[in-house]
Amino acid sequence: MRSDYDAIIVGTGINSLACAVHLGAKGWRVGVFEQADIPGGAVKTLELTEPGFLHDWAAMNLSLLAGSAFFKAYGEDLTARGLEFAPVSHCFASVFDDGKWFGVSTGPGETRARIAAFSEADAKAWDRLCEEFPGTAEYVFALLGSPMQMHIQGRLLAKALYRKGFAWTVELMRMLISSPRTFLTQTFESDHVRATLAAWGMHLDFAPDMAGGAVFPYLESMANQQFGMVIGKGGAGTVTRALISRIEASGGEIHCGQRVAKVLRKDGKASGIALQDGSEIKASRAVIANVAPSGLMDLLEGASGDGDFDGKMRKFSHAPGTMMIHLALDGLPDWTAGEELKQFAYVHIAPSLDQMARTYQQAKAGLLPDEPVLVVGQPTVIDPSRAPEGKHVLWVQVRMVPGEITGDAAGEIAETDWAVVKDLYAERALGIIERHAPGFKSKIRSRAIVSPLDLQADNPNLVGGDQIAGSHHLSQNFLFRPALGHATGKTPVDRLHLTGASVWPGAGTGAGSGYMLAQKLGGK
């Protein structure tokens, strides 16, 4: 291990690695330090159940990476280093208690025909959204892919006003601040269509009635129909391995099992890090912390020198937690709603807007929801290499759940310790899948249950199991992520920068904050 670098990066999440790739390409000597024994943060693939069964620890969908500015710049190199995507044409679906289902696919007319079976008026509304999507996406993707600085966003607004006009621009802004329920109820009349699309809001802490959440169901539905989805061939860890290979080829180093205790400062500037064992590593140009705001305060021993900034970091709000269930299966679930559901990458079990709203409120109150939202991932449908021949893995997100349990909304589980509760609560979740796919449980060979606190122990950024590293509500998004004046990752300590999902543009596998910070520091 070197004792000095140009830049030190804390954490090996996808933003850290993308940042290190670009800085290395610009000639910087970069050292990346990770407290876990395996790099990747939320993006890694492990044999959690049985040999030969490959499970994505947290993140599975790599579409944001595939469409990112970072991948446009480095994709060819990463592909040469083993990164491989598995394309998805049947992207996501939802099943309902009345035996019906709805799903979004890329095939010509497929999704429209499914909508028309519920409502012809909704099919026409879908046609209109699809027709308008290219023009709308140009501006939405530009917003989400640009640094959150007033002069940059001001130019984007001026461009929209000039090219699209005042009325169109105002309608776009209205959609950006609307709740999923408002957008979906004003657009569609079918409860099945509304619920299927609203489930995407729950991926990003947007229950149906949360302002600012409409854009995510909109983008996911439109982008998935137009472009499809991608997952990693052999698991999401293919990305992490390729990124590390690129970093090491540029002379960078990755150090796992090395917990960073604090950021060193000299003359008011970040000068390096101290590891938990007391050793000190110098950084001549930058220290970059891919940590949650609370983690940043820990690294600064509670004080940056700016009390206002410190207060905002301490008050940074986290979303409810997630529990992961990883299953090795002898066969896929036999969905009663339709055999065609076996083709989909994701099957949501989130039957109504009201149920999603209730689940969210129960989790925020510290209660185990009586009926959690389930995201059932079927990656071996798309990528059979993740399991032995004829076998499958199932990737189940149980959303939303509290990091700290105060009770059970169903009144069935008395325990409040996740070490005990996770197996009990997993049975509730698996029972919901069994209800929609009778005989499912008999196909389970083995399982690995990961509680919210297990996620946090592996990756301290996921506070209370919050997989998105902080709520994306309007008060903590855009210019306010993580705080006003710091959406570029700037901190009050010179040469110390914050990156990761807690910084604009937030959660996901697009590597946006890490790449934009690297461009700011090292040049484009």
DSSP states of 51-118? TT--EESS--B-HHHHTSHHHHHHHHHHHHTT--EEEESEEEEEE-TTS-EEEEE-STTHHHHHHHHH
- With cut-offs at 50, 70 and 90, classify the pLDDT of residue 155: confident
Q: Which CATH number fits domain 4-85+235-316+471-522: 3.20.20.370, 3.50.50.60, 3.30.365.10, 3.10.20.740?
A: 3.50.50.60
What secondary structure, in 3-state letters, does 356-372 show? HHHHHHHHHCCEECCCC
- Token readout for 132 is 């308008």
Enter the DSSP assignment of 308: H
| Alpha carbon distance, N-terminus to C-terminus of the chain | 29
Over the chain, what is the mean pLDDT? 96
Lowest-confidence region among 154-158, 169-173, 179-183:
154-158
CA 327, chain centre distance (Å): 21
Q: How many residues does the chain have?
A: 524
Decide if pLDDT at 1 tops 80.
no
Q: What angle (nearest 5°) sits at the alpha carbon of residue 484, between those of residues 479 and 485? A: 100
Convert the pLDDT of each residue in 107-119 to its tens digit: 989 999 999 999 9
Convert the pLDDT of each residue in 31-50 to its tens digit: 999 999 999 999 999 999 99
Q: What angle (nearest 5°) sits at the alpha carbon of residue 348, between those of residues 112 and 326? A: 140
Q: What is the pLDDT of residue 160?
A: 85
Q: What is the pLDDT of residue 382?
A: 98
DSSP states of 468-501? TSS--SGGGSGGGSSSTT-TTSB-SSBTEEE-ST
Where are the domain boundaries for CATH 3.50.50.60 in the chain?
4-85+235-316+471-522
CA 53, chain centre distance (Å): 23
- Token readout for 436 is 């929609």
Q: What is the pLDDT of residue 384?
A: 98
Q: What is the pLDDT of residue 145?
A: 84
Q: What is the pLDDT of residue 333?
A: 98
Question: Any idea which residue has 């996808």 for tokens?
Answer: 14
Q: Bridge partners of 498?
A: 289
Q: With H, G, I as helix, E, B as strand and everything else as coil, classify residue 401.
A: strand
Decide if pLDDT at 150 tops 80.
no
- Token readout for 508 is 């996901």
Decide if pLDDT at 211 tops 90.
yes
Convert the pLDDT of each residue in 343-364 to its tens digit: 999 999 999 999 999 999 999 9
Q: Whole-model pTM?
A: 0.95
C-alpha pair distances (Å), 164 with each of 148, 151, 171, 185, 271? 22, 20, 11, 25, 48
Q: Is 49 within 8 Å of 328 (Cβ atoms)?
A: yes
Convert the pLDDT of each residue in 231-276 to its tens digit: 999 999 999 999 999 999 999 999 999 999 999 999 999 999 999 9
Cα distance between residue 487 and residue 358, in whole Å: 32
Cα distance between residue 466 and residue 204, in whole Å: 10
Q: What is the pLDDT of residue 503?
A: 97
Pairing of strands 321-329, 444-450: antiparallel
Q: What is the pLDDT of residue 3?
A: 87
Convert the pLDDT of each residue in 374-386 to its tens digit: 999 999 999 999 9
Q: Is 507 within 8 Å of 517 (Cβ atoms)?
A: no
Decide if pLDDT at 2 tops 90.
no
